[in-house]
Amino acid sequence: MNNNSVKKQKLTWFARFLNVVEAAGNRLPHPITIFAILAAGIVLLSGVCAALGVSASGEMIDVKTMEVSERTVSVVSLMNRDGLVYMLTSAVSNFTGFAPVGVVLVTMLGVGCAEGSGYLSALMKKAVGVTPAAIVTPMLVFLGVMSNVATDVGYVVLLPLGAVIFMAYGRHPMAGLAAAFAGVSGGFSANLLIGALDPMLAGISTEAAHMVDPSYVVDPAANWYFMIASTFVIVILGTFVTDKIVEPRLSAATATKSAAMQGESPSSVTSLSPREKKALLFANITLLALVAAVAVLALPRNSFLRNPDTGSLISNAPFMDGLVLLLAFLFFVPSVVYGRITGVYKNEKDVCAQLGANMETMGSYIALTFVAAQFISYFNYTGLGSVLALKGAEALESTGVSGPVLMVSFILFSALINLVMGSASAKWVILAPVFVPMFMLLGYSPELTQVAYRIGDSCTNLITPLMTYFAMIVVFAKKYDENSGIGTLISTMLPYSILFLIGWTLLLVVWMVFGLPLGPGAVMMM
């Protein structure tokens, strides 16, 4: 890329806007300080709102009993005795119970060994030699979308791999990180397969639909056809944004520096010594043997890896619950084989030292996560997100719009609510009892309402600090650009969020115009 093209890109109005976002965001304090300030702000806001009696009422679903009932949610203060006791006694459990912590640290035990032994680098070098450069970006975005079948694993496995893959091709590692993040998080609801989220949302939608029709059932595959088409839309848009908007903004000098720090250069990416080739062969054989062993164990209908009641490998199955450990193991064992043959690991003490080194690299993440966990926990405890969602739903319900305009409005509303409530199922518990019956009475099926919600819920995952893995990604980004901050991440991901929201919404409008089925037996109109 020549300097003239970079300058031209920076002169466009959108590039200037992104530069302003980045500069403003990076002038903010350190991310740890930002989350501490946000946590303190939630404490003060909860006290004020509770004193003013701020509350909201609406139909909500109990996820344990799946019963719909009228509930009033009031803001709970953190500035009274109970709130102070909660903050004092729950700080440790907020941190240890924060979902990404265990997932990230356990996965990094294996991934860190793959990187430290040289196995990951060798794999990338080999892949570069056989993979056309033109398909790297769409392949990475596609893998990100597909990783959603395995819930959150894509965040901790594919994101760092995306940076390494781009670096191996002489491209900016931050662009690879962004492309993977866009697929994993921005394309959260798109997939070619039925994932763990589908039956969860379908169950909530079914109960909400019973408020109008007690016999109505929303099938877990109700959005499948639309989500298959969405996968290709997300891949196309993600590739365009990465190659035409995001990477041109990133400094070529920074990319070269990052590659040098990682010991990679475009001229050496396919160079492997005879010893490394031998080590790679045996490590790959080991990996294939382990994958085959897991597959064999999972095949029997009564396998301990399957759900004992349904036989599923996906829904409430030990296989999915233990996938993080399995992946760490699949990275760890071949890495040890590779390191032993190349001489990086001479004995078990070297391997154990590598495991310790893996955790040392996560020090910044652990510190940031402790503060971020308190902020998110405080937000959930106070009920501010639920009140905002119910108030917003009431406002949207009163607008009186209909047709595709109504669905577009609901998508935008869901996208905005996603900025203040991270969990897809938690938001749907609040929104489904309001919008599913309302739209059913207007003639729109619960399956259509659910699709519109999923579009909005996915697109703004990329730019909200309330997304549980946001702190982790900020730390990952600093590995490749030490000057990066929250502003860098948000400005990098904002084009994906905007284009995904526009493109995905247009897809739904086209779907509605042609009256296409959303899934097997799932129509759009009642």
Q: pLDDT (tens digit, 9 = 90+) per residue, 451-484?
A: 999 999 999 989 988 787 888 888 888 888 877 8
Give percent above pLDDT 70 in the chain: 90
Helix (H, G, I), strand (E, B) or coil at 456: helix
Cβ-Cβ contacts under 8 Å for 63 (sequence gap 6 or more)? 204, 425, 429
* Confidence label for 14 from pLDDT (cuts 50, 70 and 90): confident
Give the mean model confidence (pLDDT) for residues 492-520: 93
Tell me which of 310 and 52 has the higher pLDDT: 52
Beta-carbon neighbour count of residue 486 at 10 Å?
Answer: 22
Q: Confirm if 474 and 485 have CB atoms less than 8 A apart.
A: yes
Cα–Cα distance, 398 to 401 (Å, whole number): 9
Q: Which residues pair with 66 in a beta bridge?
A: none
pTM for this model (two decimals): 0.75
Q: What is the pLDDT of residues 311-346, one digit of tens each?
A: 888 777 888 788 888 888 998 999 999 999 999 999
- CA-only gyration radius of the chain, Å: 24
Give percent above pLDDT 90 in the chain: 37
Alpha helix locations (H) across 118-152? 119-130, 136-146
Cα–Cα distance, 449 to 428 (Å, whole number): 11
* Confidence label for 180 from pLDDT (cuts 50, 70 and 90): very high
- Which amino acid is located at 456 in the chain? G
Q: What is the DSSP letter of 173?
A: H
Q: Which residues pair with 522 in a beta bridge?
A: 519
The strand ranges marked E within 387-436 are: none
Cα–Cα distance, 480 to 458 (Å, whole number): 26
Q: Confirm if 183 and 140 have CB atoms less than 8 A apart.
A: yes
pLDDT above 80 for 126: no
pLDDT above 60 for 120: yes
pLDDT above 60 for 262: no
Q: Residue 6 corresponds to which tokens in the numbers above?
A: 């970079």
Q: What is the pLDDT of residues 186-198, one digit of tens each?
A: 888 888 887 767 8
Q: Confirm if 336 and 328 have CB atoms less than 8 A apart.
A: no
Alpha helix locations (H) across 273-315? 274-298
Q: Residue 95 corresponds to which tokens in the numbers above?
A: 């941190």
Q: Residue 365 corresponds to which tokens in the numbers above?
A: 């993440």
Q: Confirm if 167 and 262 have CB atoms less than 8 A apart.
A: yes
Q: Which residues pair with 71 in a beta bridge?
A: 58
Cα–Cα distance, 13 to 372 (Å, whole number): 33
Cα–Cα distance, 97 to 375 (Å, whole number): 13
Beta-carbon neighbour count of residue 270 at 10 Å?
Answer: 14
